[in-house]
Structure 1
Amino acid sequence: MRLTPTELDVAGLGREAATPVPAAEIPSNLVADRRQPRARALRQDAPKHDLSFESLPAYREILMERQVGPALGFTNPYYRVHDGRAATRTSINGRELLNFSSYDYLALNGHPEVLAAHEEAARRYGTSVSASRITSGERPVHRALEAALAEVYEAEAGALFVSGHATAASVIETILGPKDLIIHDALIHNCVVVGAQGARCQRKSFRHNDLDDLENYLTLTRHLFERVLIVTEGLFSMDGDGPDMFRLVEIKERFQAWLMVDEAHSLGVIGATGRGIAEHSGIDPNRVDIWFGTLSKALVGCGGYVCGSQVLIDILKARAPGMVYSVGMPAPVAAASLKALEIMRREPERVAALQANGAYFVAGARARGLDVGPSWGFGVTPIILGTDIRTFAMAQELERMGVYSFPVTSPGVPKGTSRLRFFLSAAHERAQIDTALDAVTTILDRS
């Protein structure tokens, strides 16, 4: 068996004992020749290069944005400092607001059992595992959470990553190459695009939830690629809708492709017990090759996970950059998410309360003539306002009226579809939802 350099180092076989090597024994070609002249300076007529960060196009764009906002009377909505824990209410600059901007779907952030699990793990393992898991960063709680997540998806195994964004990017970079294709929903998260860039594979998007578009493209091109990976989301964070999983699975099987589903906003949110799009759709989760998601939403932690076959997980744990070359997830974070998952499974009434609140919000918005797009009415629903200026103005006026909802503008969404996103929680009260919707309609009536 041939081991890679990484595996040799892990096994303790890749390096000899650290004993000094006499200078006389160092090959001459590895010794710098100090007698060689230094590199010549650039010619006097060589062009000058501006190496300042201020010269970057991104910085010029940021400066323009900073100038336009105040000129239109808008305060900067980004990187706002919350004074404490953001739940159904939050405090910004000492002012309490109704909060619809957080992913705390099951109202578990700050739950006493979650806090206790976090604290016990911190006392036992410390606040950091201080290394990548492949070297000395593995703790029992990592394996316990991986097993619990795999059980949700009826998968053989799972893997935890310290970053949610790096989860998808690492998976794609590990399993695809230049002869392969990744084809994804047009509204897919940036982490999938970054993964495709790292894999140097061909990348194509199909129109949002338009499986005819997906099928037509594969009919014309499937024979050109060795492997094809189809990627979608269980619940889309911008529109609040999801895919037709029955047809999607049928397409992936007929075209001999892999299917990868992002469950970041669907775990704990959809399905009778919060087990995501497979439970919601009634499909066998084993018909999906790769399940991935994040711990920062319903499971109130941080980082990402992948669930699938044992072979897939073995490959990822040995080769995925976000696993092999990154520090392991802090044990207290894993313990908190493990406890949150346990509570989700134990108390399905939380999922039911979230879903009831989501349905109430969508029904109330539509009754007031607000555009919520194709939202299914679960944990996230947009109110689509159209222009960037109108959306920023609405967010600012809502905050003045005591309601906090974050504006999403182009290029985060297609031009002309700028919106406010409302994230619902199992703990939101109907009166709070009515207050927010009434505030939106009041502002629109004034304009």
Structure 2
Amino acid sequence: MRPGAVQHDTSFESLPAYQEILMDRRIGPALGFTNPYYRLHEARAGVTTTIDGRELLNFASYDYLALNGHPEVIAAHREAADRYGTSVSASRITAGERLVHRDLEAALAELYQADDGALFVSGHATAASIIETILGPKDLLIHDSLIHNCVVVGAKGARCQRKSFRHNDLDDLESYLTLTRHLFDRVLIVSEGLFSMDGDGPDLFRLVEIKERFQAWLMMDEAHALGVIGATGKGIAEHAGLDPQRVDIWFGTLSKALVGCGGYVCGCQALIDILKARAPGLVYSVGMPAPVAAASLKALEIMRREPQRVAVLQANGAHFAAGARARGLDIGTSWGFGVTPVILGTDIRTFRLAQDLEQHGVYVFPVIAPGVPQGSSRVRFFLSAAHDTAQIDAALDAVVTLLDRQ
């Protein structure tokens, strides 16, 4: 180092994030908690999962329609692997395009009555890439305060103005647009069909009315809504009884009800053409592995063919929500479909309950800030079409018993 030069600490250990991680690692054991993150699951996660050699009743996986491991899905995956291999070995814009990509895009577009669709290898990158591609510094992105991180990341990439409105408070949204709409070239409103932490959703009819009156675009995140709400699992539009063509952008992930990985977007042809030519998460990324696309395509086919799966899932969700309320548990504003939290408030109560439940044979995951707002820590229950009422009741009884012991 030259004389007089300032010495800089180049170690990763010096980063504030690492110091926070070390603090967490010290606090947990001091309070008697095991680390809940990156637990090793030793078998396929379905109604049960296996951790440390113990089979546990599983409420931590979003295999909503119980299709993960379905024989037809496995066969479709295997057939695509035999035909195309395990990787398409290129971005789709160069040499990675396969027929199964187009078939899945067409099937998803038909579901939303859209012109076309596009597949992304990452669900997170789907939303971020859409926003980064269609918005710029003179535009506004306004979203529900509980929106997923991928939307926030997209706004940073787009360098647009970003504003949140209070959760499901469309008066707040309308008031802000009344005051500021004239300041922006384009406005994109973003909400979720079913919020993954709270299990509720918006008034879609009013959202559409607001976006039309203020000449904005509306983008809906269907990650946890597809396969879960609506009479046949088509999501928030079917649930609300609204023509899906009145929503400008539908996007979601394949990793929930469709038991794959990656994301999708559906909309008008111009939107899809722009994304396929410019969206960084698609153009500069390897194409989705053909076996994954084939598995999700088969899962979507089964969902459409067997609506009773959706009906059973919804019945299980309603049973859980009703049972939780009857036992005096706080489930917030959950609609009682595929995901419902039990809200405890403090981190310590939440970690303790999750750990005690695991020892009791029930696996759920604790969620604390920043995943949810401060003071609303919770354990989150994912329901499946394969759960039965006895398992649901046993889990709820365990929650009550263990909370009484705290």
TM range (shorter): over 0.9
Question: CA separation in 2, counterparts of 1:289 and 1:370?
Answer: 38
Report what 1:85 is aligned to. 44
TM-score normalised by length of structure 1: 0.90
Report what 1:213 is aligned to. 172
SS in 2 for 1:239: coil
Q: Which amino acid aligns with 2:161?
A: Q
1:22-421 equivalent positions in 2, closer than 5 A: 43-421=2-380
**1:432 matches 2:391:** yes
Q: Which amino acid aligns with 1:285?
A: P
SS in 2 for 1:135: helix
TM-score normalised by length of structure 2: 1.00
Q: Which amino acid aligns with 1:169?
A: A
SS in 1 for 2:113: coil
SS in 1 for 2:340: strand
Q: Which string of whole-angstrom CA distances, capped at 9 and with x for unpartnered residues, describes residues 387-408 of structure 1?
A: 0000000000000000000000
Q: Which amino acid aligns with 1:276?
A: G
Q: Which string of whole-angstrom CA distances, capped at 9 and with x for unpartnered residues, describes residues 97-145 of structure 1?
A: 0000001000000000000000000000000000000000000000000
SS in 2 for 1:198: helix
Question: CA separation in 2, counterparts of 1:386 and 1:231?
Answer: 27
Give 1:287 shift. 0.6
Question: CA separation in 1, counterparts of 2:320 and 2:29?
Answer: 32
Residues paired across the two proteins, number: 406
Question: CA separation in 2, counterparts of 1:250 and 1:337?
Answer: 33
Note the aligned Cα RMSD (angstroms).
0.6
Give 1:201 shift. 0.3
Question: CA separation in 2, counterparts of 1:146 and 1:419?
Answer: 36
Regions of 4+ moved over 2 Å: none
Q: Which amino acid aligns with 1:94?
A: G
Q: Which amino acid aligns with 2:115?
A: E
Q: Which string of whole-angstrom CA distances, capped at 9 and with x for unpartnered residues, describes residues 297-320 of structure 1?
A: 000000000000000000000000
Q: Which string of whole-angstrom CA distances, capped at 9 and with x for unpartnered residues, describes residues 413-434 of structure 1?
A: 1111000000000000111001
Bigger radius of gyration: 1
Q: Which string of whole-angstrom CA distances, capped at 9 and with x for unpartnered residues, describes residues 207-256 of structure 1?
A: 00000000000001000000000000000000000000010000000000
Q: Which amino acid aligns with 2:213?
A: R
Q: Which amino acid aligns with 1:429?
A: D
**1:422 matches 2:381:** yes
Give 1:364 shift. 0.3
Question: CA separation in 2, counterparts of 1:284 and 1:234?
Answer: 14
Which runs of 5 or more structure 1 residues have no equivalent in the other structure?
Answer: 1-41
SS in 1 for 2:95: coil
Question: CA separation in 2, counterparts of 1:43 and 1:395?
Answer: 54
Report what 1:37 is aligned to. none
Question: CA separation in 2, counterparts of 1:276 and 1:86?
Answer: 24
Q: Which string of whole-angstrom CA distances, capped at 9 and with x for unpartnered residues, describes residues 273-295 of structure 1?
A: 00000000011101100000000
Give 1:410 shift. 1.1
Question: CA separation in 1, counterparts of 2:176 and 2:384?
Answer: 39
SS in 1 for 2:94: coil
Which runs of 5 or more structure 2 residues have no equivalent in the other structure?
Answer: none
Give 1:46 shift. 1.9
Give 1:445 shift. 1.4
Identical pairs, percent:
83
Q: Which string of whole-angstrom CA distances, capped at 9 and with x for unpartnered residues, describes residues 339-369 of structure 1?
A: 0000000000000000000000000000000
Question: CA separation in 2, counterparts of 1:222 and 1:49?
Answer: 46
Give 1:43 shift. 4.7
